[in-house]
Amino acid sequence: MPQEQSSKSATFAGLALAGTGVAHFVRPELFEGITKSAFPNDTARFLKINGGLETALGLGVALPQTRKLAVVGLLGYGGYLAVNAIRNR
């Protein structure tokens, strides 16, 4: 039962991340401030890129078959965001 609960939690987290990714397209103004700090040039383009990445990674986490690979992708995505935020301080 604990593993089943863990799987349900991971599915929920993945769907929440995918929903956040989709929200980048529906309500980009919600993400503009944070995106601009990491990507001050061509912020609108990076809003879309980040939204697409979050949607894809979230769906990957939601599916047990792709979860491990998606988690590796999330780590890379987190690094990509952190490096850009630090570089553009």
Q: What is the pLDDT of residue 67?
A: 97
Q: Which of 56, 51, 64, 47 is nearest to 4 (CA)?
A: 64
User: Per the structure, how many domains does the chain have?
Assistant: 1
Would you state the pLDDT for residue 3? 72
What pLDDT score was predicted for residue 65?
96
60: exposed, middle or buried (Cβ count in 10 Å: 0-12, 13-18, 19+):
buried
pLDDT < 70 regions, the chain: 1-2
- Domain span holding position 28: 2-87
Q: What is the C-alpha to C-alpha distance for residues 89 and 81, in angstroms, rounded to an integer?
A: 12
Cα angle vertex 18, ends 13, 20, to 5°? Answer: 95
- Percentage helix, strand, coil for the chain under 3-state DSSP, each rounded to 5: 85, 0, 15
Amino acid at 19: G
**pLDDT for the residue 17:** 98
CB 54 within 8 Å of CB 80: no
